[in-house]
Amino acid sequence: MDDLLDLDALLTPEDIELRDTVRRFGEQRLRPHVADWFESGQIPVRELAADLGKLGLLGMHLQGYGCSGSTATAYGLVCQELEAVDSGLRSLVSVQGSLAMFAIYRHGSEEQRRHWLPPMATGEVIGCFGLTEPDFGSNPAGMRTTARRDGSDWILNGSKMWITNGSVADVAIVWARSADDGILGFVVPTDTPGFTAREMTRKLSLRASVTSELHLDDVRLPADARLPGARGLSGPLACLSEARFGIVFGSVGAARDCLETTLDYVATREVFDKPLAGYQITQTKLADMAVELGKAQLLALHLGRLKDGGTIRPEQISVGKLNNVREALRIARECRTLLGANGVTLEYPVLRHANNLESVLTYEGTSEVHQLVIGQTMTGLSAFR
């Protein structure tokens, strides 16, 4: 598909080279298998993490500790190319780098950073991020997982749900409530006694991704397992902002793949003795989708520049996440109509993207949560309670 708005002119040569490298990796290494991974609900996480680590994509926007320290825009473009293949693949990179690694990088001690970040950057060690609970998603302040002191140790009890990579992870970042200290973060090796993880199955979305439930039953941790720089909800919320930024770009990739697939299809599919692309109603749908995709791409790039300049605000990321995921899902659904019955098969990626985007619409903050964040910024009044 031609670059309708000449967006490449807004990118540096380095951005374009990295984007194209990841696009080739996606086409050669990932796309040939992703429909099978989605259908079977099985994905070789460790093998893929090693490949992604070799490309330097895990924690790529962090400085030092084996990470390349790329720009936020470059990281966003990587997310875009990975999600163009499948949202689950972008989630693997996002959870590893923007949640688990970023939590240690931002809130951890120097010893924790040196111990965990280098092997996580190579994919040798896989991380997960335990915040969401069975009864508390949009309201993490209500979490029931507890942390209590026992001498110099901490004892954790509770459960977490919808945790990407949880049952394959080597280390979990777990958030828990202390009666005396409020919400705290902990680095929990998953072989710690009392820690168990169960893979969640029967999903209709993000099937090319491992989703798990975590259980902590008197998990005893030494004092130095606590993230010393995290206290209160600001700790996990800062990590969520990092992950949401990747979604702003990633959702654009899913939408682009749907539209490119549909353009190829309507050019060759004949209806009433001429290509489907030659009908007015088809072209109006294509034009509307291309316009929304271009706007979403421009918004993502603008937010990338703000982040690179150090001026981005959480509510701006909410604007990007709300708009781009919502429009990507609309594009995927509209593309499905042009593919007809073929659109519901795994021979084409469109409904797979749509199913995945249903989850992306909800996680890292639902659309309604982001609407309220934006509304609070506009009015100065909180409508959360």
Does pLDDT of 2 surpass 70? no
How much is the pLDDT for 3? Answer: 80
Count other C-beta atoms under 10 Å from residue 14's C-beta.
Answer: 12
pLDDT band at 140 (very low <50, low <70, confident <90, very high): confident
Give how far the C-alpha of residue 115 lies from the chain's centroid of Cα atoms, to the nearest Å. Answer: 24
Write the pLDDT tens digit of every residue in 60-113: 999 999 999 999 999 999 999 999 999 999 999 999 999 999 999 999 999 999
Write the pLDDT tens digit of every residue in 286-325: 999 999 999 999 999 999 999 999 999 999 999 999 999 9
Q: Hey, which residues are catalytic here?
A: 364
Write out the DSSP string of 39-102.
Answer: HHT---HHHHHHHHHHTT-TTTTSEETTEE---HHHHHHHHHHHHHH-HHHHHHHHIIIIIIIH
Write the pLDDT tens digit of every residue in 331-364: 999 999 999 999 999 999 999 999 999 999 999 8
Q: pTM, whole model, 2 decimals?
A: 0.95
How much is the pLDDT for 96? Answer: 97
Does pLDDT of 207 surpass 90? yes
Helix (H, G, I), strand (E, B) or coil at 165: coil
Residue ranges and CATH numbers for the domains of the chain are: 7-122 (1.10.540.10), 127-231 (2.40.110.10), 234-379 (1.20.140.10)
Give the closest residue to 168 by CA, choosing from 194, 200, 136.
Answer: 200
Does pLDDT of 1 surpass 90? no
Write the pLDDT tens digit of every residue in 157-195: 999 999 999 999 999 999 999 999 999 999 999 999 999
Does pLDDT of 138 surpass 80? no
Q: What is the dihedral of CA 187, 192, 195, 198, to 10 degrees?
A: 100
DSSP assignment, residue 132?
A: -
Residue 192: phi, psi to the nearest 5? -70, 130
